[in-house]
């Protein structure tokens, strides 16, 4: 789909993106996120597009960013969503969760987490 976006200097351009995120990186539920219409082309260190979304769930409602990496001339593909937050399915408690590296959550295969709670 087409998107009108701009860089930090306000220079507008029309780009193609492949899709909206279908999963919230904070509550890890499948969602159709609300597009907050705040997106920007970031040049450094790699050319990418960042779009701001909001989770539509009543129990979440958090804002997150979808990052799109360049896949062709004026085309960008969804690469990751940030911030990735861990969900304490096992009941470790906040003290243990604070010590877990965020990298234990794979941004490319969030279904791993999904299978833990069976939802």
From the list 109, 101, 37, 55, the residue with the least C-alpha distance to 80 is 109
Segment 23-52, which members bind Zn ion (CB under 5 A)? 24, 26-27
Segment 57-116, which members bind Zn ion (CB under 5 A)? 60
- CA separation for the pair 63, 52 (Å, rounded): 7
Least CB distance to Zn ion at residue 75 (A) = 28
From the list 68, 67, 63, the residue with the least C-alpha distance to 27 is 63
Least CB distance to Zn ion at residue 59 (A) = 8
Site of interaction with Zn ion (CB under 5 A): 24, 26-27, 55, 60
């Amino acid at each position: 789909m087409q998107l009108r976006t701009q860089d930090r200097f306000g220079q507008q351009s029309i780009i193609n993106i492949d899709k909206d995120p279908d999963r919230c990186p904070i509550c890890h539920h499948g969602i159709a996120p609300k597009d907050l219409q705040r997106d920007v082309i970031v040049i450094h260190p790699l050319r990418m597009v960042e779009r701001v979304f909001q989770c539509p769930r009543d129990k979440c409602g958090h804002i997150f960013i979808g990052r799109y990496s360049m896949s062709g001339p004026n085309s960008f593909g969804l690469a990751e969503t940030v911030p990735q937050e861990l969900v304490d399915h096992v009941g470790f408690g906040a003290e243990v969760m604070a010590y877990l590296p965020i990298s234990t959550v794979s941004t490319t295969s969030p279904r791993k987490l999904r299978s833990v709670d069976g939802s």
